[in-house]
Structure 1
Amino acid sequence: MAKQSSLNASIKPLLHPKHWLSWVGLGGAVAISHLPWGCQRVIGKSFGSLMYKAAGRRRHIAQVNLEICYPSWTQDQRDTLVKQHFQSMGIGFFETLCSWFRSPKMFAKQTTFVDHGVVEKLLSQNKGCILIGGHFSSLDLCGTLLAGHIPVHPVYKLQSNPVINWAMEHKRNRVYEKTIERTNMREVIKSLKNNRIVWYAVDQDYGRRHSVFAPFFNRECATIAHVGRIIKMTGAPVMAFNYARTETGYSLTLEEVKDFPADDEVAAATLMNQLMEGFIASKKEQYFWTHRRFKTQQDPNAPSPYRPK
């Protein structure tokens, strides 16, 4: 059963005094989202450096991920990338606020969009399309910018804070033609039948029940399986979404994924992981290294790699 969205729910319960601090924080977020873009990058980088020092658990997760993915690197190389990652995430925090509270038009001149006609080509099949992407620090802003070029329907996860979740859902609802809560398979199928593009970020660990194991940086990794099942069931063609923050703005690139192996769940997961590795290669610091990508072990009795040493 799909989880309850706040889009059609009353805001009254969120006006209770227990939520006032969240509303104050949200008001502050609106204010700082209107700082000049260059200023946001400078402050965001400093904020990320502060979080690097304060967020010991997340720093440990990032370090473990890099030990798994880049075993030949020196410790100094990994430490440098972790610091750069936190700075990138600090900038990403401001970009998320801009995606919620600013017009995407302010970034239009700083954004390059390349699709080589693939969107028109794949939608001409009238089966909709699955768009595969990953989690990078400019996710929210680049998603908003993408919506200015194609009618994409992103699949998302509800937030635990109800006020933040309300703001997120309502702001995204203004940008996207439609958003889909990740457990709502009915709406995913409906969007594909209506020849729309459904966007999945496929690089998180959803647990053993929803995954198959496939190599990610040469380590067997729990990888979401139902994306391949949807493609097999609907015959929807597949695109890959590669996006990045650049020195001067943002880059959005769409490419066709040919011969997607939907009949083989492990082969499908392997291909998706290979796509993610390719995306990460050119912008390692922007990837979400603070996610516990390897938390579900192939051996259920094996200890978590993120346990304290």
Structure 2
Amino acid sequence: MAKQSTLNKSIFKFMGPKHWLSWFAMGIAYVLSFLPWSLQQVLGKYLGRTLHAIAKRRRHICDVNLKICYPEMSDTERKNLTKAHFESMGKGTIETFSSWFQSQKKFQSRITFEGQDIVDKVLAKGRGCILISGHFSSLDFCGSQMPRFIDAHPIYKLQTNPVMNWVMERQRKAIFSKTIERTNMREVLKSLKQNKAVWYAVDQDYGRKNSVFAPFYGHQCATIAHIGRIANMTNAPVVLYDYGRTKNGYLLKLTEVENYPSQDDVENATRINELMEKVIEPKKEQYYWTHRRFKTQPIHGDPSPYDK
């Protein structure tokens, strides 16, 4: 099924029988979003354990990624980290429901934000800024909190399921002053010209066409090249957005990336990957290890490490 925006489409377009199961799932998600935070965390943990038991393919991808990135890790350590990762992803699933269906103010007492001085500094330059982050399990939840501190315009990827798209796109429209589909470069440049923050998650494999190869945990990895290109084109400051789950809530932190970009795409991509490694290490279990980060190989035609 083609991935299409649902923003201009009525809900009635998605009320046919083929969508009933998706709406049922959205109904469960809505109910779960009302649970107390502590209970959501427990429920998410056990949801993650269930996924760990049944999601054989995702478990395999996680295991391959950990072997590539942490070759010194023992089998026991890797298995424990994999289990912790799935528990974290389970929690993230329940948190996503809260970000979709609950007011962001409901959780503000659990949010610690560091970087208001960075916001003021970079936007005072009048060129907007480029926020860069990785994919962690609390992505949707922490992302929904960001507009409280900075007017961020997130870059997003459409989902295959149209019902999920319908809910997701409207939720984000209600929270963010603007969202940008990832292929719409014109809107990216417009937002920066309006002195807004454009938010990219920069750590996924978007294929050979849109990437250069740069080291990630010591292995050549397809890394998007246009962060440095946009920064060079617009002179917009680049800001690292680090976020994650803590014992009693969430920490959101902004840090300006100094001496970036250079004129070399590979050098810029290498810097991006180094920053991602830095924010992954303190909270390894929260990172998206179930994404096929190394699927595009430097030599065209070489098999993916995830092929069995």
1: distance between equivalents of 2:9 and 2:232? 34
Q: CA deviation at 1:163?
A: 0.4
2:121 maps to which residue?
121
Give 2:173's aligned residue.
173
In structure 2, the residue matched to 1:228 is 228
Q: How does 1:2-21 map to 2 (within 5 A)?
A: 4-21=4-21
Aligned to 1:296: 296
Distance 1:212 1:62 in 2: 23
Distance 1:164 1:116, change over 3 A: closer
**2:23 corresponds to which residue?**
23
The Cα shift of 1:8 comes to 2.1
Give 1:126 deviation, angstroms.
1.0
Larger mean CA deviation between 279-288 and 19-28 belongs to 19-28
In structure 1, C-alpha distance between the alignment counterparts of 2:26 and 2:167, rounded to whole Å:
8
Give % identity.
57
1:273 aligned residue: 273
Tell me, yes or no, if the aligned pair for 2:114 and 2:252 is still in contact at 8 Å. Answer: yes
The answer to whether the 8 Å contact 2:155/2:198 transfers is: yes
Compute the RMSD of aligned alpha carbons: 1.0
Query: For residues 108 and 258 of structure 1, what CA distance do their matches in structure 2 show?
Result: 30
SS at match of 2:248: coil
1:42 paired residue number: 42
2:135 counterpart SS class: coil
Any conservation in 2 of the 1:229–1:262 contact (CA below 8 Å)?
A: no
Read off the aligned partner of 1:183 and give its amino acid letter.
T
Distance in 2 separating the partners of 1:262 and 1:184: 24
Distance (Å, rounded) in 2 between the aligned partners of 1:284 and 1:55: 20
> Does 2:212 correspond to 1:212?
yes
Query: Which residue number in structure 2 is paired with residue 67 of structure 1?
Result: 67
Structure 1 consecutive aligned stretches of length 4 or more whose deviation exceeds 4 Å: none
The AA in structure 1 aligned to 2:71 is P
Aligned to 2:261: 261
What is the TM-score when the length of structure 1 is the normalising length? 0.97
Task: Output one character per residue of 1:155-179: Cα deviation in whole Å (capped at 9) or x when no partner.
Answer: 0100100000010000111111111
The CA deviation at 1:11 is: 2.8
Contact 2:260–2:268, Cα closer than 8 Å, also in 1: yes
Q: 2:91 aligns to what? A: 91
Residues 33-85 of structure 1: per-residue CA shift (max 9 Å, x gap) = 11111111111101100100100000000000000000011111111100000
**Who is 2:55 aligned against?**
55
Tell me, in whole angstroms, the C-alpha distance in 1 between the residues paired with 2:84 and 2:216: 22
Query: Is 1:195 the equivalent of 2:195?
Result: yes
Listed as ranges, the matches of 1:105-120 within 5 Å are 105-115=105-115, 117-120=117-120
Structure 2: runs of 5 or more not aligned: none
Q: 3-state SS of the aligned residue for 1:72? A: coil
Query: Residue 116 of structure 1: CA displacement?
Result: 5.2
Amino acid at match of 2:189: I
Q: Answer with 238-247 or 7-16: which moved more.
A: 7-16
Indicate the SS of the match to 1:178. Answer: coil
The one-letter code of the counterpart of 1:54 is I
Q: Match of 1:219, as an amino acid? A: H
1:239 equivalent in structure 2: 239
Please report how far the alpha carbon of residue 229 of structure 1 lies from its aligned counterpart in structure 2 after TM superposition: 1.3
Inter-partner Cα distance in structure 1 for 2:243 and 2:150: 14
Q: Which amino acid aligns with 1:127?
A: R
* Aligned amino acid, residue 138 of structure 1: S
- In structure 2, do the counterparts of structure 1 residues 204 and 53 end up closer, same or farther at CA, with 3 Å as the change threshold? same
Unaligned runs of 5+ in 1: none
User: Residue 251 of structure 2 aligns with which residue?
Assistant: 251
Q: Match of 2:209, SS? A: helix
What is the alpha-carbon distance in structure 1 between the residues aligned to residue 21 and residue 28 of structure 2? 11
Q: How many residues align?
A: 306
Return the offset for 1:125.
1.2
Contact 2:231 2:261 in 1 (8 A): no
Partner residue in 2 for 1:147: 147
Query: Take 2:10 and 2:34, find their aligned partners in 1: how far apart are those partners?
Result: 28
The letter of the residue matching 2:89 is: M
Q: Please report the TM-score for the alignment, with normalisation by the length of structure 2.
A: 0.97
State the alpha-carbon separation in 2 of the partners of residues 23 and 174 from structure 1. Answer: 20
Q: Secondary structure at the match of 1:159?
A: coil
TM-fit CA distance, 1:301: 2.2
Residue aligning to 2:104: 104
